[in-house]
Each structure stands twice: as C-alpha cells, then as structure tokens.
A = this chain, B = another copy of it.
C-alpha cells in the first residue's frame, strides 16, 4: 500500500481494496513553497489536500491580529470544510510554513467519489464526526485548563511541531501571547 492509501484506509475505513485504489487515484501530488497560499479568506475552497510532508498554517484575521486556528503537518487533511462542502467563501486563510508536498483532490472529483464508492457518504460522515469530536475536545481544553496546562498538553501530543514551526504561531493557536509561551518553555 502506498502512504496515501494507508492513511485513507485508516481514516475512512474503506473496506474494498479496489475502491481504495480508485479513490487514491483522484489525488494528485503537487508541491507548495514556503510562504505560498493554499487558500485565502473569501475565495472558494475547491480542494482537499493530504499533507505528505511540510506544514500548513490555518488562520484568520481578527480585529487586532492574525489568529492561528491550527497548524497541520504530515498525515493531516487540510481544507476549509464549510467552503469545500457548500461552496461558501472560505473563512480561513491557509499558508505553507515550509516547502510542502500535498496530495490534492478537486471538489469536482470529490463529488465523483460518492458515485463510485458504496457507503461513501456514511464513511465521510463518520470521518467528519471524528473531526467534530476533536474540535469539541479542544474547546474543553480552553474551558478547563490554564495556558500552561494547554501548553503541556499540546507539547506532549505534538512535539514535532516545536522545532519546525515559528513559536509565535503555536502560541496563537494555544490562545496565549508569544512571550508567555516562551516563558513556559524555559521551565
């Protein structure tokens, strides 16, 4: 199995191997250079990508500053889900934090998958429910933890990010100032 087959099988639980191969064949490998934009707020997000290597930052502008919603690395899917599914204007801007390799499916091809794979909508739903649960958990961390606890929790689960991504973005994503993150790291 290729890497992408492996990930899609484990995320979506595609049972039949020939279906899996068909799905994967829709994804095209491309690269994006550090600093380039995958998506800008207001545009339509017509693609869903799987990160083979590199990092992408999902963020939006608030009144005062940029707010980093998430940083996605190897093995993550990236898209503006609402824009991708409903053809809304995107709420997020997505930018490469490093040269990255992406397997990308267009929304056009994505729609075809439903006609090819039996139970696709069921599997897709289940995948989105898992995403929903993760985001819900993240709210819980904001309701029940201090900044320092969030830092530790995140650090334990995402060590790889800390050497490869500017810390200011991690701070924003954790809901604290860069100075505060810096001080917590010292300990």
Task: Give me the interface of A with B, judged by CB distance under 8 Å.
Answer: 60, 62-64, 67-69, 81-82, 85-86, 91, 114, 121-122, 124-126, 128-133, 135-136, 138-140, 142-144, 172-173, 175
Chain B residue at smallest Cβ distance from A124: B125
The 6 closest A-B pairs by CB, nearest first: A121-B121, A62-B144, A142-B142, A135-B135, A67-B144, A82-B133
Q: Enumerate chain B residues within 8 angstroms of A91, measured Cβ to Cβ.
A: 133
Contact A140 to B86, CB < 8 A, known contacts A124-B125, A128-B132: no
Docked Cα-Cα span, A173 to B131, in Å, equals 21
Is chain A's binding surface mostly helix, strand, loop or mixed?
Answer: helix
Docked Cα-Cα span, A114 to B131, in Å, equals 22
Q: Enumerate chain B residues within 8 angstroms of A81, measured Cβ to Cβ.
A: 129, 132-133
Task: Determine whether the beta carbon of A140 is less than 8 Å from that of B69.
Answer: yes
Chain B residue at smallest Cβ distance from A149: B63
Contact A140 to B82, CB < 8 A, known contacts A125-B125, A128-B128: no
A132 to chain B, nearest CB (A): 5
Docked Cα-Cα span, A142 to B140, in Å, equals 11
